[in-house]
Amino acid sequence: MLRVLNPRLGFAQSIKRTLFLMLHQGVHGVLGQWISPDDLNTEIHDRYPNCMEGRVLYVIPFSMGPIGSPLSKVGIELTDSIYVVLCMTIMTRMHPNVWNVIESSKEFVRCVHSVGCPTSSNQIVKNNWPCNPEKTLISHVPKERLIMSFGSGYGGNSLLGKKCFALRIAGCIARDEGWLAEHMLIMSVTNPKGEEKFIAAAFPSACGKTNMAMLEPSVPGWKVQCVGDDIAWMRFDEHGVLRAINPEAGFFGVAPGTNKKTNPNAMATCMKNTIFTNIGQTKDGHIFWEGLEDQYSPDTEIITWLGDHVKLSDKSKDPKAHPNSRFCCPANQCPIIHPKWEDPQGVPISALIFGGRRPSGIPLVMQSFDWKHGVMLGAALKSEATAAAEFTGKSVMHDPMAMRPFVGYNFGHYLDHWLGMEKPSRKMPLIFHVNWFRLNKHGKFVWPGFGHNIRVIDWILRRVDGEDNGVHSPIGILPKKGKFIIMMISKQHEYLLFVLLSY
């Protein structure tokens, strides 16, 4: 276990400091910050000369997806951060064979990262976490397949194979080549009859992707296996089947709220070979974050993510682990990892799901009328802001396709690309929208979530099989009365789960 602390700016997606270079401003859109070539050159020359002075330069050859897969892409990252090297070793396929792929294809994504803190500077480094928050800049040049990140050590801003490559740049490559790079988990679900199907689901960061990907079903006879918990690359094959790979090799999960009750598989996965970032720690070296209170006595001494020593029973409002603290661990350690999680051909997707944090007004589950309506549901996705973004508060924000921070080109063109996926020769997956986070008038969750989400998935998969268990409503197809396994939910709460209007 390695525990690292970052008490300075740089523990969330720096959306306002994330830029895209396009020749014309309108080519990008309002969901990303556009910058002109001349302005980007000015910003780069203001930051990068001598930025690594006195530091070690690391060269990282890596593959996103199984090496040699027709769905995979490769890249090279230059960095002066050992933290980045260690995390990239877990999150990507870092291997000498990547050089062979580059030699044969002549194509790779170029990634440059610097903490922006040369040893010759007078800047004070706190807790061994060098960074330069005043000059943080994450720039993307899609046409050149180039990413340059300066000043931040946050995973999404420094592990450039992750969101920068696997979503922003890969999204542009996918547009050019006719496939999809999406902010989605991939899971397999096997029903009591032994019938297996694969699902891809998009939720904003910190909205439960990892919990769903590693779900422990509360209904006997069901089985869930994980292919990926964050990103899906999907392409229709020659038979018209949408096939998906997980381009990552590890999990970079949100720690707070994760425990043996909410996600026992994630807890088992991160018990070895794991890098923890901004968590708390007990005096004798055990991990701690909010959600693990039951594992320790109230008088346990905790070293918080800021380095303060407090008792577990301390009622301070300050969290002992940062709300966006993370665990980074190899995917092959997951006890329910699917045997085909590294299949170079990918797995066949039967259903796509969109969802976000909506305290009112949105039902537990609904199906789109068709592919176009499903694209509209995804584009209209809204969710409460979480600690994974730099926005704070409880405001409900638009997060189309759960891709708000990650769309690498004009969003109108992005929607056209989605709509263009539908072709007569293709077996289009059904599209659904879910909302685990509906609240009652007392501010309590109506739906128990976690393992009980298998009840929603059961209805979804029966829809995929063509079962007549839905009823049309103005906004989509809802479960027919008596065709949805509720169990343990009061009649009043059952009504709230499916009512269309805010109470």
- DSSP letters, 440-499, are -TTS-BSS--GGGHHHHHHHHHHHHTT-S-EEE-SSSEEEPTTSS---S--HHHHHHHH-
- Report pLDDT for 129: 82
- Cα–Cα distance list, 175 to 20, 330, 420 (Å): 16, 29, 10
Contacts of 284 by beta carbon, 8 Å cutoff, 6+ apart: none
Contacts of 357 by beta carbon, 8 Å cutoff, 6+ apart: 204, 207, 383, 384, 386, 396, 435, 437
Q: What are the residue ranges spanned by the domains of the chain? A: 2-178, 181-250+336-498, 252-332
- Cα–Cα distance list, 68 to 7, 99, 277 (Å): 40, 11, 32
CA 215/CA 80 separation, integer angstroms: 37
- Report pLDDT for 385: 79
- Report pLDDT for 234: 99
| Annotation says 207 is catalytic | yes
CA 167/CA 175 separation, integer angstroms: 11
Grouped pLDDT means (10 residues each) for the chain, 503 residues = 54 66 60 82 96 96 96 98 97 97 95 93 70 93 96 92 97 98 98 98 88 95 97 98 98 94 95 96 96 96 94 91 95 98 98 95 95 98 73 76 91 96 98 94 88 95 96 93 67 61 37
8-state DSSP, 220 = T
For β-strands 430-434 and 347-355, DSSP reports them as parallel
- Fold identical between 181-250+336-498 and 252-332? no
8-state DSSP, 165 = I
- Report pLDDT for 391: 47
- Report pLDDT for 160: 98
CATH fold of 2-178 reads Phosphoenolpyruvate Carboxykinase; domain 1 (3.40.449)
- Report pLDDT for 35: 85
Written out in words, the top-level CATH class of the domain with range 252-332 is: mainly beta
- Report pLDDT for 440: 85
Contact 65, 245 (CB under 8 A): yes
- Report pLDDT for 196: 99
Q: Does the 181-250+336-498 domain belong in CATH 3.40.50.880?
A: no
What three-state secondary structure class fits 185?
Answer: strand
Contact 216, 160 (CB under 8 A): no
- Report pLDDT for 503: 32
CA 278/CA 488 separation, integer angstroms: 37
Question: Which spans in 80-120 are helix H?
Answer: 82-91, 97-105
Catalytic choice (87, 207, 328, 329): 207
CA 268/CA 453 separation, integer angstroms: 21
pTM of the model: 0.91
Contact 128, 115 (CB under 8 A): no
